[in-house]
Amino acid sequence: MNRRTGLIAGASAVAVAAAAFLLPNADASSEHGPGVRSFAPQAAAQLGATLASALGDGTAGWYYNADVKQLVVNVLDPRTAERVDRTGAVAKVVRNSTADLKGAARTLRMTASVPGTAWSVDPKTDTVSVLADSTVTGPGMATLNRALSRLDGLVTAKRTTGEFTAFTGGRARGHRMARGGADGGNNGAADPTAPTAAAAGVQGGDAIFGGNVRCSLGFNVSMGGAPAFLTAGHCGNEADTWFADRTGTQQLGTVAATTFPVADFALVTYDDATTAAPSSVALGDGRAQDITHAADAAVGLEVQRSGSTSGLHGGTVTGLDATVNYGNGDIVNGLVQTDVCAEPGDSGGPLFAADAAIGLTSGGSGDCTAGGETFFMPVTAALAATGATIGADSAGEPGGTAATP
């Protein structure tokens, strides 16, 4: 696998300035059938995927409304809405089809390749949601607005504070691990820079060190029966060898495959084939969450992220099939967008929902004080590309790489 693939030249970031964004005139309506049911996230995901497959072009995406535990399915006509209503889901008649939204995303990729921008498909608004960070001004903003003007009704757009960047951390950077509860705040994990007794036993969210950077381990996996782990590709590009400590005395493994940009994942195989590599994520205070399988994300899904800088934080999936332009030609596609915060050093760390592995931390804007947006490489895509397995599947049991959360 190439160490760097798909470089796309982008315009240089420019100074911060205000700019007007063009907003669509959305025309969506909701139709609630008489038998609307409550769904657990897993059941909603299973039904949503089933309906999308069965109804084909009659649907336009779906999402989970966690507040009322309802599955909302976007449809294009009343007849399809009736079919959805009979399943207990909520049918929402919308204007834009899935093909329309994918076409809008393609247009943005071709005409609005501006550093500091990102976009994702948002079934809640039936649009492609476009973000511009604080560096997008002047010619960059003009380019973006020209693209948006041709997509009236297909896009929504807004500013985000800060600057989109990959969340690697330098070795000299301090590690802030504040105390907090189990509700998604920092959970007081031990300082990840402190030397450990042995490299064995590292798990999702723990610090890993390579070259001049610190990242976070994503998920332990199995590669042909041998232990390995996933992390971010922009981390894998920085060094061939990775360690469990900042002094470089406790070697973990060697990069077997790494891809960044275009995608953002790396596979590192443990040097010792007998390494204990638990399928779990660190939650702080000595607690851990077992990971049994990988799952695709769904908009509205409540998720958590663990990282070696900021610890444990929670939030919600807000967009799918996201593209983010970090600048310098580093453009990544197919990401999961969330409102979960992250900070430098959290790169590669795990995004998960209960015992399901969802994503690997890529980058975003903001921090865990002010908040922000964070993008994640889907774990299912990384597993498919590398041939690795996770959780129960890594032990040769059913499930693991294509389940729903």
264 is known as an active-site residue: yes
Beta strands per DSSP E along 15-107: 29-31, 59-65, 70-75, 90-93
Q: Output the pLDDT for position 316.
A: 97
Select which of 133, 264, 330, 367 is catalytic: 264
Specify the amino acid at residue 351: L
Q: Which two tokens stand for residue 133?
A: 């960070």
Give the three-state DSSP class for 381.
helix
Q: Which two tokens stand for residue 43?
A: 């059941």
Q: Output the pLDDT for position 251.
A: 96
Give the three-state DSSP class for 43.
helix
Q: Kindly state the DSSP code that residue 176 receives in the 8-state scheme.
A: -
Q: Output the pLDDT for position 231.
A: 98
How many residues make up the chain in this entry? 405
Give the three-state DSSP class for 122.
strand
Select which of 120, 222, 347, 365 is catalytic: 347
Chain center to CA of 384: 16
Q: Output the pLDDT for position 175.
A: 35
**What's domain 1-24+114-405's architecture?**
Beta Barrel (2.40)
Q: Kindly state the DSSP code that residue 189 receives in the 8-state scheme.
A: P
Taking every pair of C-alpha atoms in the chain, what is the biggest distance, in angstroms?
65
Q: Output the pLDDT for position 181.
A: 30
Q: Which two tokens stand for residue 392?
A: 């129960």
Q: Are 271 and 253 in contact (CB under 8 A)?
A: yes
Domain ranges for the chain? 1-24+114-405, 29-93
Q: Kindly state the DSSP code that residue 271 receives in the 8-state scheme.
A: S
Q: Output the pLDDT for position 161.
A: 85
33 CB neighbour count, 10 Å cutoff: 17
For residue 111, report the phi and psi dihedrals to the nearest 5 degrees.
-120, -10
Show pLDDT as tens, one digit a residue, over the chain (405 residues): 444 333 222 332 322 233 334 333 333 344 445 589 999 998 999 999 999 999 999 999 999 999 999 999 999 999 999 999 999 999 999 999 999 999 999 999 999 999 999 999 999 999 999 999 999 999 999 999 999 999 999 999 999 989 999 999 874 333 333 322 333 333 333 344 333 333 457 999 999 999 999 999 999 999 999 999 999 999 999 999 999 999 999 999 999 999 999 999 999 999 999 998 999 999 999 999 999 999 999 999 999 999 999 999 999 999 999 999 999 999 999 999 999 999 999 999 999 999 999 999 999 999 999 999 999 999 999 999 999 999 876 643 333 444 444
Q: Output the pLDDT for position 391.
A: 87
347 is known as an active-site residue: yes
Beta strands per DSSP E along 198-272: 207-210, 213-216, 219-223, 226-231, 241-243, 251-259, 265-270
69 CB neighbour count, 10 Å cutoff: 14
Q: Output the pLDDT for position 34.
A: 58
Select which of 234, 306, 355, 367 is catalytic: 234
